[in-house]
Every structure is written in structure tokens, then in C-alpha cells.
């Protein structure tokens, strides 16, 4: 026989305690033989946090250089050089230009030079160009046409462009006006 449960009449006088919210957004542990291209275990996805990637969407075309101090995930098209810490080139992405990063994971098309400490060409990648690396992995099925050069520091001697450090234009650095232009225009 089941007991009869009744709510005591004096329960309404008891203060209700707030329930704790579930805020753990940790990435599940995905162990793989290679940690190249994987986030560290326990990394959380917090908006604006240090692990937030800048995403170039599939409908976006960038003509010019791209510089980031963090992670960049490219799903669209970039025509220019890419500088970053961790760069992921998605399966449908197309990059024409150089890539310079600490870690570079390539899944899509790249036509240009890659310089990175850790470079991973995944099975869907198509790379035409030279790769300067400290550590490199090529998955079965990846397409690679070019030279692979192992160096102790593939990023040494490279000048990373910083935003806002371009010298201000002065009169002697500006090109001369066209001959048919009127003065003051």
C-alpha cells in the first residue's frame, strides 16, 4: 500500500530556496591519437572568452589580408594572406594566399604557402604550395602538391602585420597627382 502524501498547510510559510543553474559548458573529452587541431580538454565555449573563434562564413568573400590574435575559422573565401594563432580552413573554404600561424588545420582548398609550427592536412584538404613547419601530419586522402620543409622555427624572421602601425602618409610619401588634375582637387 502506498502512503498518502499531502502537502502540509504550513509549507506556504517556508521560504523557497533558489535552485542552482547549470552553467558547465565544457567540451566533452574526445581523445584521439593526434591532439593536432583539437581543443584542450576542459576548454569551455564562452561568448567573448579566450576560446571564441572568429568565423568567416560560407557566404563571405574577403579580398585582402586577414590578421587575428586568436583562432580563425574560415568557411568562405579569402584572397590574401592570413595571420593568426590557430587557423582552421573548413571543407568548403577556398584560400588563395599565404597562411602564417602557430597551428593550422586545413580541410579545404589552399593555393599558397603555409608557415606554421603545427600543420595538419585532413583527408578533405587540397593544398597547392609549400609548407614550412615544425610538425606536420597528413591524413590519408589529402591532396598536397608542393614542398614540405621542416624547420625548428618556421615563423622566425617573419614580420607580423599589426593593426594601426602603418606610418602616417606625408606629402613626400604620397604619389604625385595625375598630370591632368587641377590643383586643390
Q: How do residues 74-132 score in pLDDT, each as one tens digit?
A: 999 999 999 999 999 999 999 999 999 999 999 999 999 999 999 999 999 999 999 99
Gap between the Cα atoms of 55 and 126, Å rounded: 20
* pLDDT score, position 172: 44
Q: What is the mean pLDDT of residues 24-40?
A: 47
Average pLDDT, the chain: 76
- Per-residue pLDDT tens over the stretch 122-162: 999 999 999 999 999 999 999 999 999 999 999 887 766 65
Q: What is the mean pLDDT of residues 61-75?
A: 94
* pLDDT score, position 11: 52
| pLDDT surpasses 70 at 37 | no
67: Cα within 13 Å, side-chain hemisphere: 8
Most confident option among 1-5, 13-17, 92-96, 178-182 = 92-96
**Which letter, b or e, does each residue of 119-153 get, where b requires 16 or more Cβ atoms within 10 Å of its Cβ?**
bbbbebbbbebebbbeebbbeeebebeeeeeeeee
Question: pTM of the prediction?
Answer: 0.62
**3-class secondary structure, 9:** helix
Amino acid at each position: 500500500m502506498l502512503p498518502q502524501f499531502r502537502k502540509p498547510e504550513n509549507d506556504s510559510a517556508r521560504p523557497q530556496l533558489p535552485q542552482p543553474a547549470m552553467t558547465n559548458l565544457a567540451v566533452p573529452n574526445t581523445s584521439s591519437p593526434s591532439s593536432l587541431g583539437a581543443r584542450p580538454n576542459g576548454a569551455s565555449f564562452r561568448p567573448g572568452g579566450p576560446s571564441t573563434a572568429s568565423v568567416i562564413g560560407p557566404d563571405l568573400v574577403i579580398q585582402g589580408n586577414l590578421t587575428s590574435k586568436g583562432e580563425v575559422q574560415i568557411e568562405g573565401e579569402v584572397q590574401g594572406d592570413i595571420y593568426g594563432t590557430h587557423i582552421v580552413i573548413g571543407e568548403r573554404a577556398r584560400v588563395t594566399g599565404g597562411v602564417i600561424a602557430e597551428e593550422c588545420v586545413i580541410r579545404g582548398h589552399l593555393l599558397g604557402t603555409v608557415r606554421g609550427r603545427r600543420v595538419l592536412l585532413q583527408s578533405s584538404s587540397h593544398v597547392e604550395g609549400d609548407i614550412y613547419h615544425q610538425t606536420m601530419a597528413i591524413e590519408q586522402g589529402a591532396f598536397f602538391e608542393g614542398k614540405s620543409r621542416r624547420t625548428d622555427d618556421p615563423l622566425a624572421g617573419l614580420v607580423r602585420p599589426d593593426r594601426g602601425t602603418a606610418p602616417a602618409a606625408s606629402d613626400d610619401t604620397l604619389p604625385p597627382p595625375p598630370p591632368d588634375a587641377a590643383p586643390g582637387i
